[in-house]
């Protein structure tokens, strides 16, 4: 009996992974579920969670559960694309600039410094605001901000790795630059980049919701947890569930991704390596 409780407790400790899996599944399988996130019904406006619907209805009588699932799709797709685009640009620039050095490295470092001079998601707010709303523009705006961190991290990692003997040996043996990148440098610097990317996802989820909260993200009929919170803020006193439901879901996903990032970092022992 005792062993059994221990086992269930151990499974409970994996809740961040469970939440992340749910997030991915709902995002990918949402379109297959019989959901009606845009069905307006004026007879059930602002109904609180209860028998009729698990999570209640919003100001247009749309089921909040269905809209939260639709919002999961938005945040998942945006996170996925932004991470992919940012990684491609950032890691490539970081490797090339650190490996070759010279004037190109100087230019890249200068550009990184200029982008880092924009505080937080301010640049993304400006870009999304100027390019207009829409999920593609959100991805472009967040990637424009996102690549910088990966470029800086990759550059620093490559600078420390490229002095190692096996790289020198590969150069001396006449290996091609691309094969040195892929076979000898990338595997060594992958762990910290993966850890950085996992924390990056938490930031992107918040940033996407933030842009949508400001009215600069996805537009109806698409849903985002951010614009659900914005709509709900107007009915805070009469229907707090309109803010609480998407808010708690957003918070849980961000918390889960952050905790998963912590575990990845411990697993790869990244902090230890960088401090040595």
Task: Kindly list the residues in this chain that would bind other proteins in the complex (CB under 8 A).
Answer: 110-111, 113-114, 117-123, 125-127, 129-132, 202, 206, 209-210, 213-216, 226, 229-230, 232-233, 236-237, 240, 243, 247, 250-251, 254-255, 258-259
Minimum CB distance to other proteins, residue 216 (Å): 7
Q: Are the beta carbons of 211 and 217 closer than 8 angstroms?
A: yes
Number of H helices, E strands in the chain: 12, 0
Minimum CB distance to other proteins, residue 106 (Å): 10
Minimum CB distance to other proteins, residue 25 (Å): 21
| Nearer to other proteins among residue 30 and residue 261 (C-beta) | 261
| Nearer to other proteins among residue 233 and residue 272 (C-beta) | 233
| Nearer to other proteins among residue 71 and residue 226 (C-beta) | 226
Q: Is the dihedral of CA 208, 214, 218, 223 positive or negative?
A: positive
Distance between CA atoms of residues 221 and 227, nearest Å: 11
| Nearer to other proteins among residue 29 and residue 236 (C-beta) | 236
Minimum CB distance to other proteins, residue 179 (Å): 35
List CB contacts of 4: < 8 A, sequence separation 6 or more.
Answer: none
List CB contacts of 164: < 8 A, sequence separation 6 or more.
Answer: 188
> Which stretch of DSSP H or E encloses residue 207?
helix 186-213
| Nearer to other proteins among residue 185 and residue 249 (C-beta) | 249
3-class secondary structure, 132: coil
| Nearer to other proteins among residue 18 and residue 190 (C-beta) | 18
Adjacent-strand bridge partners of 63: 57
Minimum CB distance to other proteins, residue 43 (Å): 26
Which residue in 82, 257, 87 sits closest to 186, CA to CA?
87
DSSP string, 247-276: HHHHHHHHHHHHHHHHHHHHHHTHHHHHH-
Minimum CB distance to other proteins, residue 213 (Å): 4
Minimum CB distance to other proteins, residue 166 (Å): 30
| Nearer to other proteins among residue 94 and residue 232 (C-beta) | 232
> Which stretch of DSSP H or E encloses residue 193?
helix 186-213
List CB contacts of 190: < 8 A, sequence separation 6 or more.
Answer: none
């Amino acid at each position: 009996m005792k062993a059994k409780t221990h086992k269930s407790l151990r499974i409970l400790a994996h809740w961040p992974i469970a939440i992340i899996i749910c997030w991915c599944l709902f995002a990918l399988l949402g379109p297959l579920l019989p959901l009606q996130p845009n069905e307006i019904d004026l007879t059930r406006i602002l109904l609180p969670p209860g028998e009729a619907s698990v999570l209640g209805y919003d100001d247009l009588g749309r089921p909040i559960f269905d809209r939260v699932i639709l919002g999961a799709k938005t945040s998942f797709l945006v996170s996925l694309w932004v991470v992919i685009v940012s990684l491609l640009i950032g890691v490539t620039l970081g490797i090339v600039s650190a490996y070759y050095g010279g004037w190109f490295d100087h230019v890249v470092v200068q550009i990184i410094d200029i982008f880092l001079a924009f505080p937080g998601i301010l640049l993304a707010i400006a870009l999304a605001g100027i390019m207009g709303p829409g999920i593609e523009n959100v991805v472009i705006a967040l990637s424009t901000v996102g690549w910088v961190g990966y470029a800086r991290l990759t550059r620093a990692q490559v600078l420390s790795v490229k002095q190692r003997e096996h790289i020198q040996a590969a150069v001396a043996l006449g290996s091609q630059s691309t094969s040195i990148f892929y076979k000898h440098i990338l595997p060594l610097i992958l762990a910290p980049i993966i850890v950085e990317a996992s924390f990056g996802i938490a930031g992107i989820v918040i940033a996407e919701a933030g842009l949508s909260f400001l009215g600069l993200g996805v537009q109806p009929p698409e849903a985002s947890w951010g614009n659900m919170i914005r709509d709900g803020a107007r009915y805070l006193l009469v229907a707090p569930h309109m803010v609480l439901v998407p808010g708690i879901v957003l918070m849980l996903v961000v918390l889960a991704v952050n905790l998963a990032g912590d575990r990845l970092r411990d697993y790869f022992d990244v902090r230890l390596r960088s401090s040595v």
